[in-house]
Amino acid sequence: MIAPNERLSPQQTRRVGYFVFHQDRWWLVNESLPDLMDVSSKAQIAIGSKIELADGKQILLSREEGGRLLVVQMVECT
């Protein structure tokens, strides 16, 4: 339930994950989200694990009220 703004504390602005391109695939690496989940398979993505990003993939960041759902859109650039 935290909205991005200039008054956030350092704790609220710390990185919780990162994206990496490895072996021609994009991945999201979970650094500190205990509830990260692949919605389609209902699989938990443990801290320290990664999930492959694919077009249409749905990833739940938190099960708490106000938790955000990511919907991945992959665009091919030429």
Query: Could you tell me if 75 and 59 are in contact, meaning their C-beta atoms sit under 8 angstroms apart?
Result: no
Q: Decide if 53 is inside a domain.
A: yes
What is the per-residue pLDDT across 30-44, written as a single tens digit (0 to 9) for each? Answer: 999 999 999 999 999
What does the alpha-carbon distance between residue 75 and residue 27 come to, in Å, rounded to a whole number?
A: 15
How high is the pLDDT of residue 54?
96
Structural domain range at position 29:
14-71
Q: Decide if 58 is inside a domain.
A: yes
The answer, yes or no, to whether residue 1 has pLDDT greater than 90, is no
Question: How many domains does the chain divide into?
Answer: 1
Q: Decide if 76 is inside a domain.
A: no
Integer CA distances (angstroms), 26 to 54, 72, 73, in order: 8, 11, 12
Q: Decide if 6 is inside a domain.
A: no
Q: Decide if 65 is inside a domain.
A: yes
What is the per-residue pLDDT across 18-76, written as a single tens digit (0 to 9) for each? Answer: 999 999 999 999 999 999 999 999 999 999 999 999 999 999 999 999 899 999 999 98
How high is the pLDDT of residue 42?
96
How high is the pLDDT of residue 2?
79
